[in-house]
Amino acid sequence: MRCTAIPRVSDLIGVLLLVVNGLQTVTLNVRVRMRFKASRASPFTRTMNAINMGVCLAVFLGATMGVAEARADDASAPVVVLTSATAIDSLAADDNVGVVYGAGQHLWRAPISRSATPTDLVATSGKNAVGSVVLDRGEAFFIDGGEVRRVPARGGASKIVARGRHFASIALSTDRVFWSGTNGIASAPRAGGPATPLCRSAGPTVRLVVSAQTIAWFELHDDGATTYMQLHTVPVRGGAPTAGNGGFNFEQTLLGDATALYWSQTQGIGDGVSIVKLGPSPRADMDPKLLADRLGEVSQQSLAAQDDAGLYVSTWDSSSSAGTITRILKAGGAPQVVARLTAEPSALAVTDTQIVWAEPVKPSGTRVLALQKPLPAGQ
């Protein structure tokens, strides 16, 4: 829970008057003592002076702490940003731009505030629903059937970055956009241009991320007896992919930053979610480090988002109709529950100051909520 001490103007005026009163009392006593050096203040006068200053200090601290406590309570509940009649399965968020999300055949943007009014950014071609959405440097990249497109996040004409048969996931580096599709992994300049194949895949690909000079994704494999996900990596310049040593059942999500890969895994529906880290200079055949183990239960999927310091992971227990969003610090430490869920989320993102997610509402539709990030536990 974030606690920000911002007193109201009336509080500041009242406290200021009390402090001035105390200073006037001290100044008067000093003047009296300087004029009558031979005399000393009586014990009664000294006692009253101390009481007066103590009351001023107590009122000042009480006003400041009281306002801080009220602001903390206000920040503890999520704000409903918007409600959509159409399902929202992908969204991205930024404090300056707001939340950008796909709903049906349209890409929308809305400020992160209570009861925001969405702006229609662009419609997809044909009858395609908006696929994976990534927001970076004021531009939104998204999947439109057999195309990867980009559009200014505050509105403008959209442009085609790449064309193909099918796109599953997209990821960005500083100068290129990467995608996983029917034929494997490829990339193109962010502004658009010729596509560069990086490697072929042996099975369907999901969850594509960029980590330093590495591209990582999961492939779906079926050996006839078991269906499982397996981690693969390839250098951003292309080459032979590296496969992980083992497969993961019910793989949920994959994230990456400049130094490491992170993913969640569970052994099945109703089991807890574990968070693991692979890095630096991650390769799929390296041994991962466990960051958190069995973070609640999973009914269908676990979602995750990240900021510079931590990972934010959702869990949902269908038997009790309750769930959480938990923060796990990348440097390690005890997990911290930062939000309680009343419906299973369909999308999750974080900004520098907010946690943003989409969840279904009855009888139909989806709403987007935002919660101010709490301070790490112990701060």
Residues 6+ away with beta carbon under 8 Å from 370: 78, 79, 81, 99, 112, 354, 355, 356
CB 216 within 8 A of CB 209: yes
Residue 61 pLDDT > 70: no
Residue bearing the bigger pLDDT, 50 or 277: 277
Average model confidence (pLDDT) across the chain: 79
* Mean pLDDT value across residues 40-51: 52
203: which DSSP letter?
S
Report the percent of the chain where pLDDT is more than 70: 74
Predicted pLDDT of residue 164 = 81
Q: What one-character-per-residue DSSP string does 211-252 give? A: ETTEEEEEEEEE-SS-EEEEEEEEETT----EEEEEEETT--
Instruction: Give the residue among 149, 143, 80, 144 at the shortest CA–CA distance from 110.
Output: 80
Predicted pLDDT of residue 82 = 97
Structural Rg of the chain based on CA atoms: 28
Helix or strand (DSSP H, E) at 100: strand 98-103
Strands 366-372 and 354-360: antiparallel
CB 51 within 8 A of CB 337: no
Residues 6+ away with beta carbon under 8 Å from 86: 103, 104, 365, 366
Cα distance from N-terminal residue to C-terminal residue, the chain: 10
Q: Is the peptide bond before 363 cis (omega within 30 degrees of 0)?
A: yes
* Mean pLDDT value across residues 25-40: 42
Q: Token match 């497109």: residue? A: 149
Instruction: Give the residue among 373, 356, 371, 372 at the shortest CA–CA distance from 88.
Output: 356
Task: List the beta bridge partners of residue 98.
Answer: 94
Instruction: Give the residue among 361, 343, 359, 135 at the shortest CA–CA distance from 369.
Output: 359
pLDDT tens sequence across 158-167: 999 998 878 8
* Mean pLDDT value across residues 54-67: 44
Predicted pLDDT of residue 29 = 45
At position 140, the amino acid (one-letter code) is: A
pLDDT tens sequence across 203-243: 788 889 999 889 999 888 777 777 778 888 999 888 888 88
